[in-house]
Chains A and B, each alone.
Chain A
Amino acid sequence: MHAIVTMIALCPDCPPARAARSWFFDEAFGIRLVEALLPFAITLALVWLLARYVAKGDS
């Protein structure tokens, strides 16, 4: 990982760096996005459940 980052930093337009950057930013992007959004999705699902519980006490 460190070698890839160093290569991109030293020669950002070289073909290997471009390929590495594409992998770095594009191929890992999807899974990272899921990882980043997962806590929000689960928390909002819990919020929905909690709100339903509170609504029962309201009526």
Chain B
Amino acid sequence: MQGTTRTRIAPLVKAALVLGVGLGGFADGILLHQILQWHQMLSSVVEPNNLVAAKYNMMWDGLFHAVTWVTTVVGVAMLFRAVRRPDVIAQSRVLVGGMVTGWGLFNFVEGLIDHQILGIHHVHPNIDQLAWDVAFLFVGGLGLIGLGVLLIRGGRDHVHATAVTH
């Protein structure tokens, strides 16, 4: 490692973003689909009000989780490659910021497409449906993106300040 300065953060950010998309998908599936049972993948198309319809939604939840699993594995592999690079600094604020940004990006795009455009499910169907969907876009989407970007910028500035003082 002699002669190499660890100042690059882009490979770490890229890995963290992908990891955040995967883990964000899991957070949605585990919390909103399974624990709270507010909605399922196609619950506004086939309402899960009997066993067959519930099993149908369960299968689509499974496919959703399969894709989030693959995304998470790809993110872990990218993270492993990033931190092994001699020019990349493993800065925790950048890692967390990237993951939070990835989570927010996924929420925003998923909310826009699945809730608003396709209407295949809604965050909290029937009661105040639109309010929940809009809140999800702003808080779960844009809010997390903003928080994540702030963390990445803070981490990057810290890296650059440390590189200057050394």
Q: Given the known inter-chain contacts A40-B71, A51-B10, please indicate yes or no for A35 contacting B114, CB distance below 8 A.
A: yes
* Distance in Å: Cβ of B123 to nearest Cβ of chain A: 14
* Distance in Å: Cβ of B54 to nearest Cβ of chain A: 10
| Contact A40 B67, beta carbon cutoff 8 Å | yes
Q: Given the known inter-chain contacts A24-B56, A32-B60, A44-B21, please indicate yes or no for A50 contacting B101, CB distance below 8 A.
A: yes
* Distance in Å: Cβ of B150 to nearest Cβ of chain A: 14
Q: DSSP class of B's interface residues: helix, strand, loop or mixed?
A: helix
- How many contacts A-B (CB < 8 Å)? 79
Note all chain B residues with C-beta closer than 8 A to A58. 7-10
Q: DSSP class of A's interface residues: helix, strand, loop or mixed?
A: helix
Q: In this assembly, does B105 line the interface, its C-beta being within 8 Å of a C-beta of chain A?
A: yes
Note all chain B residues with C-beta closer than 8 A to A39. 106, 109-110, 113-114
| Contact A57 B60, beta carbon cutoff 8 Å | no
| Bound: A24/B63 CA distance, A | 16
* A15-39 contact mask (Cβ, 8 Å, vs B): 1 or 0: 0000000001100000011011111
Task: Tell me the B residues contacting A by CB distance below 8 Å.
Answer: 7-10, 13-14, 17-18, 21, 25, 41-42, 46, 50-53, 56, 60, 63-64, 67, 71, 101-102, 105-106, 109-110, 113-114, 118, 120, 152, 156
